[in-house]
Chain A
Amino acid sequence: MKRKYLNELKEKLVSYQASKKDMDDILADYDQLYEDALASGKTDEEVWQMLGNPDEIVDELRDTLQQKKEKNIKTKIIAVMPFISLIVFFFLGFYQGLWHPGWMVFLSIPMTAILLQTRLKDGLVALMPFLSVIIFLILGWGYGLWNPGWMVFLSIPVVAILLNTNMKDIPVAISPFVAVIAFMILGFYYDLWNPGWLVFLIIPMLGILHEKNIVKLVIYELSFVIAIGF
């Protein structure tokens, strides 16, 4: 519980871009406060209540914290991105005649903010909609692959699932997307809409694998196998 509390506090301090020195100092102090509170006979819940919510703590500590210098640089880069994008857009338009797809440079404004303001994992999830749009448009305009190019949008939830789900739950979580992709490929390229729809049965079949009772598991799975065979 103490580790969890300190980790939450650390996360809040990191997101506030507190300097390393301040962070180390505060975390050491809270570590000690937590230990002393436990030693006084308080329960973990009472200690959490006494020390307070990490969000509120960082709010209270704001005027005692020094922020990392790099935050200022990052903020400046984000602030100038609209101007840089506009200059690049005009350059591409006037000198290269690339008004279209030159407008896509404006996507760099939110993408830069995401890259500079979020942690790697959250940043990747947040960037996926933009990357999907870019890839979709390239596939569409460049190669005429609007269909099945739209399937790149499935990468948005898939990436979020892959980065935020426990390893053992990943197969079940991504199975609906895999099934959709497999179904579309079977349909579009091999005209196997029927019996291609059977791939959707993989979703409950994978879900059932979580059943602990082996007899039930075999019965459930067999019922699907029989249904497919029939």
Chain B
Amino acid sequence: MNTQFKKGILEMCILAIISKRDMYGFEVIDSLAKEIDVNENTVYPILRRLTGQGLFETYMEQTNIGAPRKYYRMTHLGKEKLEAYETEWRSFLTGVFKILGGNNEA
């Protein structure tokens, strides 16, 4: 699969899982790796880029052990981006399923 295409999907997945609740870096990587076959070392750079684009904001939270953790929280802009991604993705999948002749529900 095309690398850029994969990265696009990964971006959407990262947006989707952080939209459910605030997460710290390792939690994001771990959650993704449990569900999909992902190149784990590409997750942090994407997180950082999306944060730079204003789709996430970060805050520190104290932990019981060690230094405080950086958490990622979705912004309003992030929610809009996720909705746009989802619409685009569902329409794409519907088209793909039509072509394949299978179930067209995405």
Q: Does chain A bind chain B? A: yes
Q: Which residues of A contact B (CB under 8 A)?
A: 26, 28-33, 35-37, 39-40, 49-53, 56-57, 60-61, 63-64
Note all chain A residues with C-beta closer than 8 A to B67.
Answer: 31-32, 35
The answer to whether A57 touches B45, judged by C-beta atoms less than 8 angstroms apart, is: yes
Spot the interface stretch: B13-21, B24-32, B74-82, B89-97: B24-32
Closest to B53 in A: A64
- Nearest B residue to A37 via CB reads B26
Q: Which of A26, A40, A64 contacts B26 (CB 8 A)?
A: A40
Known A29-B44, A36-B24, A60-B45; 16 more pairs at CB < 8 Å: A29-B48, A30-B44, A32-B70, A33-B25, A33-B26, A36-B69, A50-B29, A50-B40, A50-B41, A57-B44, A57-B45, A60-B42, A64-B45, A64-B48, A64-B49, A64-B52
Chain A residues lying within 8 Å of B25, measured Cβ to Cβ, are 29, 32-33, 36
Question: Contact at B48–A26, with CB atoms within 8 Å?
Answer: yes
- The distance in angstroms between the C-alpha atoms of A32 and B42, with both chains bound, is 16
- Nearest-CB residue, chain A, relative to B41: A52
Chain B residues engaging chain A, CB cutoff 8 angstroms: 24-27, 29-30, 40-42, 44-45, 48-49, 52, 65-67, 69-70
Q: Which residues of B contact A53 (CB under 8 A)?
A: 41
- Take A39-B65, A40-B26, A40-B30 as given contacts and tell me if A33 and B48 are in contact as well, using a CB distance cutoff of 8 Å: no
| Whole-angstrom CA separation of A77 from B14 in the bound complex | 43
7 tightest Cβ-Cβ pairs between the two chains A and B: A52-B41, A36-B26, A60-B45, A50-B40, A64-B48, A61-B45, A64-B49
Do the beta carbons of B26 and A56 come within 8 Å of each other?
no
Give the docked Cα–Cα distance between A12 and B48 (Å).
17
The closest CB in chain A to the CB of B52 belongs to A64
Contacts of B48 in A (CB 8 A): 26, 29, 61, 64
Tell me, in angstroms, the Cα distance from A36 to B71 when the chains sit together: 13
Q: A30 to B27, alpha carbons, bound, how many Å?
A: 13
| Closest Cβ–Cβ distance, residue B66 to chain A (whole Å) | 6
Q: How far is the CB of B32 from chain A (nearest CB, A)?
A: 11
A57 touches B70 (CB 8 A): no
A115 to B30, CA, bound (A): 44
Bound complex: CA A53 to CA B49 (Å): 19
Please give me the residue from chain A that is nearest to B7 by CB atom.
Answer: A60
Chain A residues in 8 Å Cβ range of B69: 32, 36
Q: How far is the CB of A199 from chain B (nearest CB, A)?
A: 54
Q: Could you jot down 5 A-B contacts, CB within 8 Å?
A: A29-B25, A30-B44, A32-B25, A49-B40, A57-B44
A55 to chain B, nearest CB (A): 11
Q: Which B residues touch A31, using CB under 8 A?
A: 67
- Whether the pair A32, B24 counts as a contact (CB closer than 8 A) is yes
Residues in A whose Cβ lies below 8 Å from that of B45: 57, 60-61, 64
Contact B52 A33 (CB under 8 A): no
Q: Provide the bound-state CA to CA distance between A30 and B66, in Å.
A: 14
CA distance A63 to B41 in the complex (A): 16
Query: How many angstroms between the C-alpha atoms of A61 and B48 in the bound complex?
Result: 8
CB distance from A160 to the nearest CB of B (A): 34
CB distance from B9 to the nearest CB of A (A): 16
